[in-house]
Structure 1
C-alpha cells in the first residue's frame, strides 16, 4: 500500500511541478510579449562624413562604439521584474518596402529610453535620435525569405574583427542592401543584444589547457559539452562532498605550440576577457517574387563572409523555411529574443557587425543627417518675436528675439523655397498682432497678399497698401517732396545713387550728376507745390516752365546754372544732354502707370506719420506685374522716404519716445543704396529696425555687403549654395561647417542670435509657417486702403495733364 501512496505522491509532485512550470513559462512568454509592445523605436541619423581619415583615426572612432556596447552591459542588467526577461536592445539596418532609404534603427524598452539615449549621445554627440513609428519590409502582395546567423565553431573563438580587417565592415553590409527597389522590396538586418550572466573564463581555461597539450581546437571544445564535461562535473561534485580523494598526477609535458595554436590561444584569451553578449542575428528580405526575395537575402548573407579567417571563427547563414520562417517573421516583427538562435559575441565582435556611420561611408541611399544640430544658449528671452523652435536631443526650445536686440537688425539668407518668406511672414504676423509699426517691401507680391489676409480687424484702419499694379487707384509717391535743406540734399544724393543703381555707370558721369542735381533743386524750390521726376525732361525743354520755377529758387548757384551756364550751351550740347536725360527718366514718364504715381506732386503717404504712429505699410512691387526696372525704382524711393523720416525724427524726438518701426525687405539688395549703412550702424538712434532677406551674397554690392556683415546683430541662414557657404561659414564656425549650410533641410535654419546685446554661439531652428490667410479679409482691407490713401485714376491724370498744359 505504501508503494501506491509513494507513487501517488510522486505523480502529484510531478503534476504540481509541471503546472508551476507551465504558469512560469506562460508568465515568461507574457513578459516577452509585454516587453516587445513596450519598445520605443528610434531612428538614428548621423552627419555625412566627407573627410578621409587615416586608419588610426578610424580605429579610434570604432573603439567608441565598442565602449558603448560595454556600457550597455551594466545598463541592461537592470531588470524590471521577476517575470520579465533580461532586456534587449535591438539594432537594425532596414530598407522599407515603401522607399529605398537605408535606415539605422534602435529599439529600446520604454523604461530605458532616456538612459540609452543619454548613452548614445554621450558617446556620439553628433547623433540625432527621433522617435518614429515602426516600418514595414514586407511587400503586399509578395514573398519573403529569412535566415539567422550562427557561428561555425565554439563561441570562445572570435571571428576576425574590425581591428584587423582592412575595409570598413559596415560598408560591405550596407552595400548588400543598397540595390533594393524603391517600391515593393524590403530587407532588414536585425541584431538583438542582451547581456549574459554566464562567464566564459572557465571554458576558456579548458580550451587553452587542451590546446597547450597539443590537441586540436575541435577536440578541445568537445570538453565543453558531452560526456567528458558531464564526468568532469560529477568528479567536481564528489571532490567537493569529500567522497573522492584528489589524486596527484604528474604535470603534463606541453609540446611545442604551432603558430596556429598560438594564434587561437591568443584569440580565445582576448575574447573571453571581454564582456560577452547573447545575440540574435536575423536577416529578412521581401519582394514581389520568392526568387527575388532570396536573391536579396543571399546578397545580405554574403556580406558576413568578410569575417571569415582560416584559424578563427566564422558566420554561416541558416536558411529558415515553412512554419519556422513564419515564426522567424513573428519574432522579427515583435523583436522577441530566441534562445535557440543565440550566439555569444564580444563588444569587439558586435562593433564589427554593427556600428553607426561614424566613419566615412560611401554607400548610396543611407539616410544620414544632412546637417548638424546644436543647443541654444542657456539664457533665452522670454518675450519678443518668435523665430522658430530649436530641437536638440529630444528637447524643444522656443527661440525669441527681443525688441532691444532687434534694433541691431536681422539678416536672412537662403535659396528659393527654403523658408525665408515663411519666417518673415511669421514675424510680420506677430508684429502686427502686437500693435507694432511695420513696412513690408515685397518684390514678388505673394508675401504682401498673405499679410493682407491675416491683419486682425482691430488693425484694419492702420493698413496702407501701396500696389502700383492697381492702376485704377494710384497712390502718389514723390521723392522730390522735402521740407529742409538736409532732406533735399539727401533726396538728391539718393536719386542720383538710384540712377547709378538702375543704369550702367558708364552712361552716367559728373556732367549728368551736375545737371540732375540742379534740375532737382529747382523742382524742389517750391515746397508747397514741388515738382516731380516726370518734370525733369520738361525743365530742359520748356523755357516758360523753367522760368516759372526759377521764381521760387533762392540758391544763387542754382540760378547761375540756368541764367549763365545753360544760356551759353549750344543747341547741339543741349540736345545731347536731353538725350541722356530722356534715356534715364523718359521710360518712367512714358509709362502711364508709373507717371500716375511719380507724377503726383504730393505723396499719398506720410512716412513720418506711419513710423511715429505704428501704421502698417504693405508695398507690393511684383516684378511680374510692374517690370523689374519699375519695381526697383519704386522700392528705392520708398526706402529713401523711410530713411528721411527716420533721420527727421532723430532730430525732432527724444530717443526714448521714438517708436520702434520694423522694415521687412525681401530681396533687399534691389531696394538699398550705400546710404543704408547709416541705418545699420546707428540702429538705436533711428529705431528703424531692418529685417533683410535675399538669396545669395553675390547679389549685394561690396559696400552694402560690408555694411551688413559689419553691423547686423542677428543672422538666420537657410540652405545656401556652394559659392556662399565658404563666406557664411565664418559666421557659424566652429559649430557648423560648409556642408551643414549647403545641406540643411527646407524650413530649417542656423541662427547666430544677439541675446542681451551679446552674440551667442550658433544653433539650429525649425520654422513653423503661420496658417493660411483669408482672401476675403485681404479684399476688404484692400478696398479700405484705396478709399483712404489712393485717388481715382481719372482725377490723377486730370491734374497731371493740367500741369503739362493739356
Structure 2
C-alpha cells in the first residue's frame, strides 16, 4: 500500500480568487486516459479531495501518495496563492473512531458524458454553500467526511462523449443531422480534462443512541444543488452488500477497477465540488480559515544552508523559520545587526517572549555569553529547560525574592570613575520612569547631586540617600571627602543655608520615593550592601549565562522596575 500524505488546505476569509482557478488543479492530475494494458506497469495514482466536519469545525483536505505531496502543494498554492498547505495526521481516523457509522455514495443518475452544474451556473453564490451550510449547523456529537476520489479513466471517455453527441443529433428517419440541446453540453464537458471519480460520504456519531444514517441522506441531498436539469443529476446510493470493501477503499483512498467504471467528471465539475473557501463563503460559520498569509522570504534574509561552515553559522543567531510553498527556511539575525538597537513590540500572546527565548537558546548552544532579565518569570524558567549539561556550570540564576540565597548588587560601586556621570544619569532616569507623573526640575536637581556625591563616597549605597539628606553628621563627613568643587559648593553654600521649611519641602519627595525601596527588607538586602556579590560585566565577558528572574507577581511592579 502506498504511503499517503494528508494536506490540510486553508484560505483567508477575504480571498477573491475565482473558483475556476481550481480547474487547473484537476486538469494537471488527470491525463486524457490510461488504457488497461498500460495500467499493468504505470499504476495510476488516486487522489482524494475531502471536506470534514470534526468537532463542529469545517476542514478542507487533499490526501495524496507521498511521492506527489510536493506536486499537490504546488498546484494548490499556484491556483490559490493566498492558501496555506499543512501536513497533518489522517483526519479520516477521527471520523471512523465514532461508535456508530454510516457510509454511502453519491453517483450520477444518467450517462456520465452528460454534465452536471459547474461554477458558471452559480451567480454570486459559491457552489458549496448548500453543502457547507448544512454541515456548519450539525451537533457536536456528529462527524462528517465527504471524499471525492479521482484517478485517470481507463478508456477514451472524451472521444466516446463526442460520438454520443453526434448520435444524439442524427435523425435516422430523415438521414441527416439536426439540433439537440444536449449536444452542446456534452461537447463542452468533453473539451476539458477529466477522470474517473467516486464520491463517498461518511457520518459518525459519538452518541450510541443517535443513528447517523438520516444525517447522511440529508448530506447527500445537498448534492442536488449540483444537478443540471437538461444534463445529469446526483443521487444517493446506499451500500447494502460488501460495505467493508467500501470502508477499506475510503480509508486507503482507492477506487476499485470495477467501481463506477464509467462515472466521469471533468476538471470543471470537480473544481465545483471541491475548492478552497473564499469570500463567498465568509458567512459560513465554523470554517477553518487561514489566519495568516505566508509570503516568500526576502532575498537578503540571513539564512545559512546545511553545507555552510560552522564559522558562517556562528555569525547568525537563528530564532525562527519561514515556510513558503512547502519549503521551510530557518533564518535569524546577523551579529553585526544585533549590536544595534533591537526593539520587539507586539500585543500579548503574539510571541515576543518566544522570540527572545529562541535567540537566547541559540546563543547558549553556541557557547556565547547571555544575559536575560525577565520581569514575568516564565521566560527564565523556559530557558532553564534548554540549557545543555556542558553549560550547567556557566549558569548564574538570580531570584531577588529568594531570601535563603540572597545576592547583593551595589549600583554605586564603579570601577572606572570616568563613568560616574553615566551611572548617575542612569539612576536618575530610573526614578523618573517610575515617578514621572510627580516629577519636577528641583527634585531632579537635588537627586542628581545626591547620586553624584555618593558615587565619590567610599562604600556608599542607594540606602545612604536618606542619610545624606537628613543626617547632618553623615553629610558633613561625606562632604569633607569630596574633590568636586561644584558638589562641595552645593552642600555647603546652597543646601546648608536652605531654610528648614524649604528644605523639608524639597527633600520629602525624594525621601518618599527612595524610602519605598529602603523599607522593603528584600530590596534593602540587595541594594544596601557595600560590595556586590556578582559582577554583571565579568559574567558577560566570561561567556556566562545570567538569568535574572524579576517576577512582578513576587516582587511588585515598582521593585521589578528598579532592579530591572
TM-score using structure 1 length: 0.61
Question: Of residues 634, 641, 644 in structure 1, which corresponds to 2:563?
Answer: 634
Question: Of residues 171, 196, 202 in structure 2, which corresponds to 1:284?
Answer: 202
| Shift in CA distance, 252/294, structure 1 to aligned 2, threshold 3 Å | same
In the alignment, which residue of structure 2 is the partner of 1:346? 266
More helix by share: 1
Question: Of residues 537, 542, 547 in structure 1, which corresponds to 2:476?
Answer: 547
Secondary structure at 2:466's aligned position in 1?
helix
| Deviation of 1:358 (Å) | 5.0
In the alignment, which residue of structure 2 is the partner of 1:319? 238
| Shift in CA distance, 110/168, structure 1 to aligned 2, threshold 3 Å | same
| Shift in CA distance, 411/581, structure 1 to aligned 2, threshold 3 Å | closer
| Deviation of 1:67 (Å) | 1.9
In the alignment, which residue of structure 1 is the partner of 2:89? 132
Secondary structure at 1:492's aligned position in 2?
helix
1:370 corresponds to 2:291 = yes
| Deviation of 1:168 (Å) | 0.3
In the alignment, which residue of structure 1 is the partner of 2:148? 191
CA distance in 2, matches of 1:455, 1:286: 46
1:75-109 residue CA offsets vs partner (Å, 9 max, x unmatched)? 9849985167643322222335xx33333232334
| Shift in CA distance, 491/195, structure 1 to aligned 2, threshold 3 Å | same
Q: Which range is displaced more, 443-452 or 264-273?
A: 443-452
Q: Equivalent residues in 2 for 1:145-156 (5 A)?
A: 145-151=103-109, 153-156=110-113
| Shift in CA distance, 609/67, structure 1 to aligned 2, threshold 3 Å | closer
Q: What do you get for the CA RMSD once the two structures are aligned?
A: 3.3
Cα pair 1:305 1:315 within 8 Å, conserved: yes
Secondary structure at 1:163's aligned position in 2?
helix
1:66 corresponds to 2:14 = no
In the alignment, which residue of structure 1 is the partner of 2:424? 492
| Shift in CA distance, 75/46, structure 1 to aligned 2, threshold 3 Å | farther
Cα pair 1:41 1:134 within 8 Å, conserved: no
**Structure number with larger C-alpha Rg:** 1
CA distance in 1, matches of 2:386, 2:190: 69
In the alignment, which residue of structure 1 is the partner of 2:303? 380
1:525 corresponds to 2:481 = no
1:198-234 residue CA offsets vs partner (Å, 9 max, x unmatched)? 2444554554564475xxxxxxxxx9xxxxxxxxxxx
CA distance in 2, matches of 1:345, 1:391: 34
Q: Which range is displaced more, 612-621 or 542-551?
A: 612-621
1:583-635 residue CA offsets vs partner (Å, 9 max, x unmatched)? 11111121222222222233333343333333333322222222211111011
1:308-343 residue CA offsets vs partner (Å, 9 max, x unmatched)? 34433322223333x244443343233332445342
CA distance in 1, matches of 2:177, 2:76: 50
CA distance in 2, matches of 1:483, 1:117: 61
Cα pair 1:445 1:621 within 8 Å, conserved: yes
Cα pair 1:76 1:87 within 8 Å, conserved: no
1:28-77 residue CA offsets vs partner (Å, 9 max, x unmatched)? xxxxxxxxx215132232232225x4xxxx5xx22221122222223984
Q: Equivalent residues in 2 for 1:121-520 (5 A)?
A: 121-125=77-81, 126-130=83-87, 132-133=89-90, 135-136=92-93, 137-138=95-96, 140-151=98-109, 153-166=110-123, 167-183=125-141, 185-196=142-153, 197-201=155-159, 203-204=161-162, 206-208=164-166, 210-211=168-169, 213=171, 252=176, 261-262=180-181, 264-287=182-205, 288=207, 292-321=211-240, 323-338=241-256, 339-341=258-260, 342-358=262-278, 360-362=280-282, 363-374=284-295, 376=297, 380-381=303-304, 382=308, 383-384=313-314, 385-408=317-340, 410-413=342-345, 420-449=352-381, 451=383, 459=391, 462-482=394-414, 486-505=418-437, 507-520=438-451
Secondary structure at 1:318's aligned position in 2?
strand
Cα pair 1:45 1:367 within 8 Å, conserved: no
Cα pair 2:408 2:525 within 8 Å, conserved: yes
1:345-377 residue CA offsets vs partner (Å, 9 max, x unmatched)? 222112112223255423333334332334556
1:643-675 residue CA offsets vs partner (Å, 9 max, x unmatched)? xxxxxxxxxxxxxxxxxxxxxxxxxxxxxxxxx
Q: Which range is displaced more, 390-399 or 601-610?
A: 390-399
Q: Equivalent residues in 2 for 1:103-118 (5 A)?
A: 103-118=59-74
Question: Of residues 2, 8, 11 in structure 2, which corresponds to 1:47?
Answer: 11
Give the number of equivalent residue pairs: 544
Secondary structure at 1:533's aligned position in 2?
coil
| Shift in CA distance, 521/409, structure 1 to aligned 2, threshold 3 Å | closer
| Deviation of 1:266 (Å) | 2.7
| Shift in CA distance, 192/472, structure 1 to aligned 2, threshold 3 Å | closer
Secondary structure at 1:45's aligned position in 2?
strand
1:534 corresponds to 2:445 = no
| Shift in CA distance, 515/206, structure 1 to aligned 2, threshold 3 Å | closer
| Deviation of 1:489 (Å) | 1.4
| Shift in CA distance, 538/203, structure 1 to aligned 2, threshold 3 Å | closer
In the alignment, which residue of structure 2 is the partner of 1:94? 52
CA distance in 1, matches of 2:405, 2:342: 34
CA distance in 2, matches of 1:487, 1:429: 32
1:167-214 residue CA offsets vs partner (Å, 9 max, x unmatched)? 10123222222234444x32222212223332444554554564475x
| Deviation of 1:139 (Å) | 5.1
CA distance in 1, matches of 2:447, 2:126: 71
Secondary structure at 2:96's aligned position in 1?
coil
Listed as ranges, the gaps of 5+ residues in structure 1 are 1-36, 214-222, 224-248, 636-806
Cα pair 1:148 1:320 within 8 Å, conserved: no
1:601 corresponds to 2:530 = yes
| Shift in CA distance, 316/443, structure 1 to aligned 2, threshold 3 Å | same
Cα pair 2:318 2:333 within 8 Å, conserved: yes
Cα pair 1:89 1:108 within 8 Å, conserved: yes
1:214-270 residue CA offsets vs partner (Å, 9 max, x unmatched)? xxxxxxxxx9xxxxxxxxxxxxxxxxxxxxxxxxx986495xx6xxx54x3332332
In the alignment, which residue of structure 2 is the partner of 1:749? none
| Deviation of 1:297 (Å) | 0.9
| Shift in CA distance, 622/301, structure 1 to aligned 2, threshold 3 Å | same
Secondary structure at 2:294's aligned position in 1?
coil
Secondary structure at 1:562's aligned position in 2?
helix
CA distance in 1, matches of 2:340, 2:34: 55
Cα pair 1:177 1:296 within 8 Å, conserved: no
Listed as ranges, the gaps of 5+ residues in structure 2 are none
